[in-house]
Amino acid sequence: MEKAVITVVGKDTVGIIAGICTYLAARNVNILDISQTIVKEYFNMMMIVDLSKASQPFGEIVKELSSVGEEIGVAVHCQREEIFTKMHRI
Amino acid sequence: MINVFEVNETNKMIEQEKLDVRTITMGISLLDCCDSDLEMTKKKIYQKITEYARDLVKVGEEIACDYGIPIVNKRISITPISLVGASCCKTSDDYVALARVLDRAAKEVGVNFIGGYSALVSKGMTRSDELLIRSIPRAMEVTERVCSSVNVGSTKTGLNMDAVRMMGEIVLETAERTKDQDSIGCAKLVVFCNAPDDNPFMAGAFHGVTEADAIINVGVSGPGVVKCALEQIPDADFETLCETIKRTAFKITRVGQLVAQEASRRLGVAFGIIDLSLAPTPAVGDSVADILEAIGLEKVGAPGTTAALALLNDQVKKGGVMASSYVGGLSGAFIPVSEDQGMIDAVATGALTIEKLEAMTCVCSVGLDMIAIPGDTSAASISGIIADEAAIGMVNQKTTAVRVIPVIGKGVGETAQFGGLLGYAPIIPVNRWSCGQFISRKGRIPAPIHSFKN
C-alpha cells in the first residue's frame, strides 16, 4: 500500500468533497478514510488514500489536486503518510 | 492511524512556523582524483562530482514534493582540496584553477554551495596546505559557490598559531578583494578548531578523509517551531520548558531522518548523519534569538543569555538524539548574526556585543558566525579573535569557528548587506587594544592537559 494524506482547508461551499473525490476516482486513487469538521464556517477535511494503483505519478497528482482545490476555492495538500507517522509515532 | 490534529500540527509547523529541512549535503571523496598533472586532476574532479551529484537536486525536489516539506538547499562537500591538489599544484594559482573547476561543477549540477576548499593544519602545515591557504582570497573572489575552511587547532594537537596568524591576514585580504560587495568573500570562509568530518552546513562543510566514497548528510532546521511551542507556556517551570523543547526537537529531527533515509535510498548513496543544529534564516520568525527571548530575555545579550542558550542547546540534542539513528556534524544551536533577524536587532540596539557572543559560543556550536566587524580592524586583531575562539574549542573539546567579515570601507553604525540566506548585519565594535605582540610569536600552543587520555 502506498498511503498519502490529503488535507483540504477553506471556506465551506457546495461540492468540495464531490470535486476532490471525482478527481481521485478518475486517477484510480482509493480512499481509505475520511474525517471532516466545520469550524466557524471553515471546512477542514483529512483523507487517507492509497495510491498504489494510481494512474499518474505522485508529483503530478499533488499539482493537479492543488489546482482542483483552487477551482473550488480551497487549499488542498497531498503528502506521503510517513511524514506524519514518523513525526508523531515513536 | 494518524489523526486530523496530528496532521494539522505538522502542516502548521511547515506553513506557519517555517519548518524545513535546511540542507541535503552529499559528501564526495576526491582522493581518487589526485594526479600529478593539473589538467588531469581538473578533469577527474569535474567528472566525479557531476556524475555522483547528477540527480541530487532532482531527488531533493521530488522528496520535498512527496512529503510537502521544503528542502531549502542541496549542497556538496568534498575532500579538503589541499590534499587533492598536493601532487599537481605547484603554485597558489594552480589551486585557484581547481576552485574554478569546483565552481563550474557546482553550477552544472545545480547546487548552491560546494564546500571543501579546505586545509587541515591543526598541528603543522605542508607546502601544499600553505599554497592553498594563500590562494583562498583569490579563489573566493573569482568563484561564486565555492566555500573554504581551515582547521587551525584541535584538543588533541593544540593550536597552530602560525596558521592563526596567517588566517588573520587571509581573512582581511579576502575582504579587500571582495570589497565591492561588502566583503562577501569572507562569508564563504570559516576558521575552525576541532572541525568535524561530516558537517553538512556551509560554509564549513568538507568531506573528511575518515569518510566513505560518498555519503548523504542532512541538516534540519526549525527555530520557528520551537519558538511557537515556547510561546504557549510563558510561565512554565524549567522542567516543562525543557520537556517542550525536547518534544519539539524530536519532531523536527524525525522529519530530517525521514528525508535523509529517502535521499539515501533514491540516490543509492549511504546515509551518514543528521546534524541537529537549529539553523535560523533572516526570515522573521525563523530565529534562534527569538527562542531565547521566548525563554524570558528582553533581548539577546541580556544577563542570563548564556544560561538560556546552554539549556536550549542541550534539550535540542536530547530530543534529537532519540529521533535519529546517527547524529553528527555540528549539532547545536547556531547563532549567526546576519542570518537571524533577532540577533540583528539585538546587535543594532546595542544589547548584544561580540564579547557576549564569544561567551555564548562556549555552550553551543559553532562560534562567532557571520559577524560584520569594522573594515579597519587589523589582521592581528582578527587573528586574536580566531585564537580566542579556537582556545574555547580546544579546552572544551568542542567545535568552534570564526566567520567574521571585516567590511572594507565601513565602520560601526553602518550595515553590511549580503543578500539571500546570508542576510545583513550591523557592524559590531571590536576591542581596539592590540594583541600584535602575542600574535607575532611563532609556533604552537600545546594541547591542554586533559587531552592526554591514553
Ordered domains of chain A (ranges, CATH):
3-88 (3.30.70.260)
**CATH number of B187's domain:** 3.20.70.20
Query: Of B2-6, B154-158, B353-357, which range is least confident?
Result: B2-6
Contact A88 B11 (CB under 8 A): no
**In angstroms, what separates the C-alpha of A58 from chain B's closest C-alpha?**
7
Chain B positions touching A88 (Cβ under 8 A) are 2, 6, 9-10, 251
- Report whether pLDDT(B420) > 90: no
| Comparison of pLDDT for B259 and B283, the residue scoring more | B259
Is there a single domain that holds both residue B304 and residue B378? Answer: yes
The CA distance from B261 to B270, in Å, is: 9
Q: Name residues whose C-beta falls within 8 Å of residue B238's C-beta, 6 or more positions apart in sequence.
A: B311
Query: What local confidence, expressed as pLDDT, does residue B156 receive?
Result: 96
- Report whether pLDDT(B454) > 90: no
- Report whether pLDDT(B117) > 90: yes
φ/ψ (deg, to 5) at B295? -70, -25
Is there a single domain that holds both residue B221 and residue B189? Answer: no
The CA distance from B295 to B287, in Å, is: 13
Is there a single domain that holds both residue B82 and residue B123? Answer: yes
DSSP B206-270: ---TTS-SEEEEEEE--HHHHHHHHHT-TT--HHHHHHHHHHHHHHHHHHHHHHHHHHHHHHT--
Contact B67 A59 (CB under 8 A): no
Calculate the average pLDDT of chain B. 94
Note down the domain range covering B61. 21-193
Chain A positions touching B67 (Cβ under 8 A) are 79-80, 82-83
Query: What local confidence, expressed as pLDDT, does residue B283 receive?
Result: 83
Chain A with chain B: Cβ pairs closer than 8 A: 61
Is there a single domain that holds both residue B144 and residue B221? Answer: no
Contact B68 A77 (CB under 8 A): yes
Per DSSP, what are the bridge partners of residue A84? none
- Report whether pLDDT(A25) > 90: yes
In a domain, B375, yes or no: yes
In a domain, B206, yes or no: no
Contact B66 A80 (CB under 8 A): yes
- Of B124, B159, B193, the last residue of a domain is B193
The CA distance from B265 to B257, in Å, is: 12
| Comparison of pLDDT for A41 and B71, the residue scoring more | B71
Query: What local confidence, expressed as pLDDT, does residue B277 receive?
Result: 86
- Of B125, B160, B193, the last residue of a domain is B193
The residue of chain B nearest to residue A5, with distances taken between CA atoms, is B7
Task: Nearest by CB to B10, from A33, A78, A83: name it.
Answer: A83
Task: Nearest by CB to B67, from A35, A48, A83: name it.
Answer: A83
| Comparison of pLDDT for A90 and A69, the residue scoring more | A69
In a domain, B301, yes or no: yes
pLDDT tens, B347-382?
999 999 999 999 999 998 789 999 999 999 999 999
The total number of structural domains that make up chain B: 2
Chain A positions touching B255 (Cβ under 8 A) are 83, 86-87
Is there a single domain that holds both residue B164 and residue B237? Answer: no
Give the pLDDT band (50/70/90) at residue B388: very high
In a domain, B448, yes or no: no
Give the pLDDT band (50/70/90) at residue A39: confident
Query: What local confidence, expressed as pLDDT, does residue B221 receive?
Result: 86
Query: Residue B419 region, left (φ>0) first, then alpha (ψ -120 to 50), else beta?
Result: left
Give the pLDDT band (50/70/90) at residue A41: confident
Is there a single domain that holds both residue B292 and residue B421? Answer: yes
Is there a single domain that holds both residue B410 and residue B362? Answer: yes
Is-above-0.80 flag for pTM? yes
Contact B255 A88 (CB under 8 A): no
Is there a single domain that holds both residue B158 and residue B285? Answer: no
Query: What local confidence, expressed as pLDDT, does residue B222 receive?
Result: 87
DSSP B342-383: HHHHHHHTTS--HHHHHHHTTSSSSEEEEEEEETT--HHHHH
Is there a single domain that holds both residue B294 and residue B326? Answer: yes
- Report whether pLDDT(B421) > 80: no
In a domain, B210, yes or no: no
Is there a single domain that holds both residue B189 and residue B232? Answer: no
Task: Nearest by CB to B7, from A7, A37, A58: name it.
Answer: A7
The average pLDDT across B415-426 equals 89
Please state at what angle helix A58-72 crosses helix A16-26, rounded to 10 degrees: 150
Q: Name residues whose C-beta falls within 8 Å of residue B263's C-beta, 6 or more positions apart in sequence.
A: B24, B59, B60, B63, B216, B218, B269, B271
In a domain, B291, yes or no: yes
Query: What local confidence, expressed as pLDDT, does residue B331 receive?
Result: 86
Query: Of B44-48, B385-389, B441-445, B450-454, which range is least confident?
Result: B450-454
Task: Nearest by CB to B255, from A46, A86, A89: name it.
Answer: A86
Is there a single domain that holds both residue B131 and residue B225? Answer: no
- Report whether pLDDT(B410) > 90: yes
Is there a single domain that holds both residue B334 and residue B425? Answer: yes
The average pLDDT across B161-186 equals 97
pLDDT tens, B262-288?
999 999 999 999 998 888 988 888 899
In a domain, B184, yes or no: yes
The average pLDDT across B234-254 equals 95
In a domain, B354, yes or no: yes
- Of B160, B193, B226, the last residue of a domain is B193
What is the interface pTM, i.e. ipTM, of the complex? 0.89
Query: What local confidence, expressed as pLDDT, does residue B51 receive?
Result: 97
